[in-house]
Structure 1
Amino acid sequence: MKTSFMNLIMRSSMFALALAIGLFLQSCSQENVDVADAQVELQMKAQTNQSVVNARSINTGYVFTEILLGVTELEFETLEEAETEDEEGEDEQEEVEFEGEFIVDLIRGTSTPDFGMAEIAPGIYEEIEIEMEPILEGGYSIFVGFEFTNSNNEVVSVEYGNSDELEFEVENETGFVLDAGAANQMLILLNLDVLFTGVDLNTATADNDGVIRINESSNVDILETIASNLDHILDAGEDDDEDGDIDEDEEDEDTED
């Protein structure tokens, strides 16, 4: 009887200790999360005129098999009014940077390592800067593999590789609004149609294995055409409904109605 009573006391003490530890950990966890911050989840995908989820064939008849980016930095920039006695009304630019080496698969919409969920100050961000470096296999910053049907009705494999260090600026006049205490889904889209605008692959030269390679040493004229399109291939915005498309502004929707 005495042993059972002592066991009961010990179990009660252990339960009280576990409860205290749990409450302590919960309190620490709550202290580490700043509800005043905006949580941002980033995703990058490819876009075509067809706008079909997981379908990467565009109106030119290209069928994409691999689209990789070597992203090394993502930077959100905002302009805030500096309200000081000496410099009232002067614009002050704030920047939030995310650095690393991210291998981004635009067909699957994944990144290795994962971009994850980041916490930044809430507000209106006017610009996103994206830097890419040749960290992909083969020394590329962008690599695109696809097939197309040529003028002889033959299916030909194509590989496009860019070895340059690239920097893109995606601006939005109305701004990207990141709300405090909320998960903001941000989507960056690469427009495949724009990337290959003006490209005639029927004029390209294939290697001995039958593959058309577009890089610094092969089909350089086509490489230059693609290079002229690079400044216009990216778009960004919120994707709160997670449908793989940038959300339209409510005012624009009202206007269309």
Structure 2
Amino acid sequence: MKKLKVVFPVLLALVLSSAVVSCKKDEATEPNSQPQVAMKFKSNTEPFPVASAQEFQALSFDSINTLAFDSGYITLVEVEFQVQTGDDSVLVDFNLEQNIVIDFATGQTSPDISAVEIPAGIYSEVEVELELQDEGDEPGMVLFGSFVDTSGTSHKVRFEFNSGETFEVEKEGNVVFAVNQSVLTTVTFDPSAWFAGVKREQLIRATRDGNGVIVISETRNSEIFDIVADGLDLATEVEVEVD
């Protein structure tokens, strides 16, 4: 299995925010409960403009010359969440190795990803690692959407990505995890970032399958696929919120 590890630059590739708010749980029923971490996935399903080859970016946003993905799935084979103190005295490493299917439209996972307990403390590094499935006949990511061209005609689009790629996102800087707090880690999938380098002329002249669908994969419309695959290196956002 080919495995490519990508460490996303903080300023270019992700938004990691920490908001520490006192959690007012009933300490009588849950005395000194250790912080719990849960993971949530969400996707950008809104239409986004597609620039022409003569534009650096789309000049305006309207109902034409847009691309949107509103359904599909992403299959992971490994999810890892790690926190570490500045002096390396505490290292918590939660690693789940099994097929996890994410519904692109809803963000729901099958199976559910359970919360992991973390000792209270001040941590200097938070890291999330996701590995896509690449075994078998089915791609690790399949998205369904539509491209609306200049004339207003809508064309169905199917994007397939099949690579055992590992996305590693980390945040450095002190984050306080206190007793009776919950931690929500939200991973965002944003096709508008992945397809930012694709031009509308490429989509207009893209080949269609027998059903008129623009299939973008390693073997179909590979010129577009290569651009999107490069865009995936700068796409995933992760937010870590402490409540």
Give TM-score, length-normalised by structure 2. Answer: 0.70
Whether the 8 Å contact between 1:74 and 1:97 is mirrored in structure 2 is yes
1:67 is aligned, of 72, 75, 98, to: 72
Q: 1:211-232 CA deviation, whole Å, 9 max, x = no partner?
A: 0001121001111101111111
Q: 1:84-140 CA deviation, whole Å, 9 max, x = no partner?
A: xxxxxx78865321222110013112101111322233453432111111369x511
Give TM-score, length-normalised by structure 1. Answer: 0.66
Q: What is the letter of the counterpart of residue 129 of structure 1? A: E
Pairing 1:217–2:222 present: no
Pairing 1:183–2:153 present: no
Q: 1:212 to 1:42 in 2, by over 3 A?
A: same
Q: What is the letter of the counterpart of residue 62 of structure 1? A: L
Question: How big is the shift at 1:205?
Answer: 1.2
Q: What is the letter of the counterpart of residue 43 of structure 2? A: A
Question: How big is the shift at 1:196?
Answer: 0.7
Task: State the partner residue of 1:58.
Answer: 48
Pairing 1:105–2:103 present: yes
Task: State the partner residue of 2:14.
Answer: none
Query: Unmatched 5+ residue regions in structure 1?
Result: 1-29, 48-54, 83-89, 242-257
Task: State the partner residue of 1:26.
Answer: none
Task: State the partner residue of 1:143.
Answer: 142
Question: How big is the shift at 1:187?
Answer: 0.7
Whether the 8 Å contact between 2:177 and 2:242 is mirrored in structure 1 is no
Match of 1:228, SS state, is: helix
C-alpha distance in 2, partners of 1:176/1:227? 32
Query: Unmatched 5+ residue regions in structure 2?
Result: 1-28, 51-65
Q: 1:34 to 1:44 in 2, by over 3 A?
A: farther
C-alpha distance in 1, partners of 2:74/2:31? 32
Pairing 1:44–2:41 present: yes
Task: State the partner residue of 2:132.
Answer: 132
Q: 1:148 to 1:37 in 2, by over 3 A?
A: same
Q: 1:128-155 CA deviation, whole Å, 9 max, x = no partner?
A: 111111369x511111110111234311
Alignment of 1:114-125 (within 5 A): 114-123=112-121, 124=123, 125=125
Match of 2:227, SS state, is: helix
Q: 1:178-218 CA deviation, whole Å, 9 max, x = no partner?
A: 44332222211112211111113223111121100011210
Task: State the partner residue of 1:164.
Answer: 163
Whether the 8 Å contact between 2:94 and 2:116 is mirrored in structure 1 is no
Aligned length: 195
Match of 2:233, SS state, is: helix
Q: What is the letter of the counterpart of residue 73 of structure 1? A: E
C-alpha distance in 1, partners of 2:239/2:174? 9
Q: Which has the higher contact order (CA 8 A, sep 6+)?
A: 2
Q: What is the letter of the counterpart of residue 34 of structure 2? A: D
Whether the 8 Å contact between 1:70 and 1:135 is mirrored in structure 2 is no
Task: From the CA coordinates, give the structure whose radius of gyration is larger.
Answer: 1
Percent pairwise identity: 23
Q: 1:17-75 CA deviation, whole Å, 9 max, x = no partner?
A: xxxxxxxxxxxxx8xx894532111101113xxxxxxx532244223231321112221
Superposition CA RMSD, Å? 2.7
